[in-house]
Chain A
Amino acid sequence: MKRHLVSTADLSRDDALLILDTAEELAHLSGRSVKKLPTLRGRTVVNLFFEDSTRTKTSFEVAEKRLSADVINFSAKGSSVSKGESLKDTALTLQAMGADAVVIRHHASGAPARLAGSDWLHGSVINAGDGTHEHPTQALLDAFTIRRHLNPGTGHDLAGRRVAIVGDVLHSRVARSNVHLLTTLGAEVTFVAPPTLLPIGIENWPCQVSYDLDAVLPKTDALMMLRVQRERMNAAFFPTEREYSRRYGMNGIRMAQLPEHAIVMHPGPMVRGMEITAEVADSPRCTAVEQVANGVSVRMAVLYLLLGGAVFADAPADASRTDSPEAAK
């Protein structure tokens, strides 16, 4: 596994399964009275959020604390320096503070890649959502949730499972991260959206595209609803909320078209009414709440796998020859 998690495209099938399997093991922790492990004691993790996201930030923070990391929350929003300067300067500050990992959420696509590729800081960079690019841990928790429902078990992948991702694919970092990860794990992904909300060049992505939600539903094992921002309407991506909802919204009638075993997923927060009706959101088939819990396990797994072991720079080439007799176990 690479030292950073910037894009799910960087994860091999083995990497992805290792994360999911580790998360599966760590999920047991939530059933214990002491929900804490000493693994990252003495390690400093910075949550660097240039964009508000209570859900993602809280999830990471819980994961970090359960692993006993020292957590620093660095909210860079509203900083008076120009945005460009502040990313570099902030990174240099965090480096000086000895951050072992930086969890970054940024409104600009590529900001985490820029951090990871720069020499501004040396810790691991974990992308917690960048612009309209990627949101890898969200995709991992989605894959984790799908696997639990459709092919449970350590070491299992998602071979042949059909996942439909519905909504604003164009602006969705969740969709981008999912298409890489889910196809890596063997799933068949179909994007469902009006043509205006699909990126140019999507015909070359490893997925199917459909403009017709009703046609896709019966052939779907997991249905993932993306958030659609109302502002898109003003930029003429679709005519009205009502029309969007009629063509691409999830409701009870559409839910009945899904196979019996199929689940309905949503990364949250849900815009009830437009993209999903209460009937669907509150149905037992909707995994939105479960996804939140799974988010903590998956993020713990990522943090452990990136931070729990040797840091490349300080690992001796031959760790088995250290003085401790147990070092090589």
Chain B
Amino acid sequence: MTTPISASAPRPPHQVLDAGDITRIVTRIAHEIVERAKGADDVVLLGIHTRGVHLARRLQARLNQVAGREIPLGTLDITMYRDDLRLKPARALEHTEIPAEGIDGKLVILVDDVLFSGRTIRAALDALSDIGRPRAVQLAVLVDRGHRELPIRADYVGKNLPTSLREAVQVQLADTDGRDAVLVGDRDYAARSSQALAAQPSDPHLPE
């Protein structure tokens, strides 16, 4: 953390969470859910593509242990509900899978990796309302980096990470990126050096 910040030379990314941190966070959130949802009887986990799905899967594994039974898990692709579709060429869709029991009357917990502007969650809420009518919807995120543009907050936060808009937060998960880590770096650095931050060229996932 001693790297001098210079306007002309963008900062390379540095790690803020490692694999152990992420595992501990998932375990803690699982306990918080059971505690706050009174045993998580009617909880349905919905992971938001892409890394939210992997996190949700890990969270489900912990929840199953803590609750002692199988917690329903689904996936949500919110592409068709985005408000920024026209800023990029049309993207391929991911699979939306709603558990067989549905979400009507359930406590749906959305799971995502980074909470930023809140627009992804807004889209996810829109998608949910077209799918069914949950009793309540909560949000679990690995990192909250601030800079909200909508009145949205997370119910379960792995780590609050104050950032500047010049910075990019990148979550890496073993499932897609070969390792678990959360990195913070300079957006310009990321843009200039594709290997530095972009795990998947097609979905660099930088600013959120």
- The answer to whether A314 and B96 touch (CB under 8 A), given A36-B130, A304-B80, A326-B207, is no
Q: Which of B2-10, B18-26, B55-63, B86-94 touches A?
A: B86-94
Q: Which residues of A contact B81 (CB under 8 A)?
A: 37-39
- The answer to whether A326 and B120 touch (CB under 8 A), given A25-B96, A320-B191, A320-B206, is yes
Contact of A309 among B89, B93, B126, B149 (CB under 8 A): B89
Q: Which residues of A contact B206 (CB under 8 A)?
A: 320, 328-329
**Contact status B84-A39, CB under 8 Å:** no
Give the complex CA separation of A222 and B95 in angstroms: 28
Q: How many residues of B contact A (CB 8 A)?
A: 35
Q: Which residues of B contact A32 (CB under 8 A)?
A: 130-131
- CB-contacts of B69-128 with A (<8 A): 77, 80-81, 84-96, 116-117, 119-120, 126
**Contact status A310-B87, CB under 8 Å:** yes
- A26 contacts B by Cβ under 8 Å: yes
Q: Which residues of A contact B205 (CB under 8 A)?
A: 329
Q: Which residues of A contact B95 (CB under 8 A)?
A: 25, 154
Closest to B123 in A: A38
**Contact status A325-B85, CB under 8 Å:** no
- B208 contacts A by Cβ under 8 Å: yes
Q: Which residues of B contact A304 (CB under 8 A)?
A: 80, 90
Closest to B114 in A: A329
- A315 contacts B by Cβ under 8 Å: yes
- A305 contacts B by Cβ under 8 Å: yes
**Contact status A28-B96, CB under 8 Å:** yes
Interface string of A1-37 (1 = CB under 8 A from B): 0000000000000000010011001101000111011
- B165 contacts A by Cβ under 8 Å: yes
- A189 contacts B by Cβ under 8 Å: no
Give the complex CA separation of A308 and B120 in angstroms: 17
- The answer to whether A25 and B77 touch (CB under 8 A), given A324-B117, A329-B207, is yes
Interface size class of A (residues with CB under 8 A): 35 or more
Contact of A325 among B96, B203, B207 (CB under 8 A): B207
Contact of B116 among A21, A36, A325 (CB under 8 A): A325
Closest to B84 in A: A327
**Contact status B92-A22, CB under 8 Å:** yes
Closest to A39 in B: B80
- The answer to whether A38 and B87 touch (CB under 8 A), given A21-B92, A325-B208, is no
- CB-contacts of B194-208 with A (<8 A): 203-208
Give the complex CA separation of A305 and B91 in angstroms: 7
- A278 contacts B by Cβ under 8 Å: no
- B179 contacts A by Cβ under 8 Å: no
Q: Which residues of B contact A209 (CB under 8 A)?
A: none
- Least Cβ–Cβ distance between A202 and chain B, in angstroms: 35
- The answer to whether A327 and B90 touch (CB under 8 A), given A25-B96, A304-B80, is no
Give the complex CA separation of A314 and B207 in angstroms: 22
- B147 contacts A by Cβ under 8 Å: yes
Q: Which residues of A contact B88 (CB under 8 A)?
A: 309-310, 315, 319
- Least Cβ–Cβ distance between A227 and chain B, in angstroms: 33
**Contact status B87-A21, CB under 8 Å:** no
Closest to A316 in B: B87
- A46 contacts B by Cβ under 8 Å: no
- A54 contacts B by Cβ under 8 Å: no
Closest to A31 in B: B98
- A108 contacts B by Cβ under 8 Å: no
- Least Cβ–Cβ distance between B83 and chain A, in angstroms: 9
- A306 contacts B by Cβ under 8 Å: yes
Give the complex CA separation of A39 and B126 in angstroms: 11
Contact of A305 among B90, B131, B165 (CB under 8 A): B90
Give the complex CA separation of A67 and B204 in angstroms: 27
Between A and B, 8 residue pairs with Cβ closer than 8 Å are A25-B95, A34-B131, A310-B88, A314-B86, A325-B147, A325-B208, A326-B117, A329-B208
Which residues of B line the A interface, CB within 8 A? 77, 80-81, 84-96, 116-117, 119-120, 126, 129-132, 147, 149, 165, 191, 203-208
Apart from A25-B77, A322-B87, what 5 extra A-B contacts exist at CB < 8 Å?
A22-B93, A38-B80, A154-B95, A326-B119, A329-B206
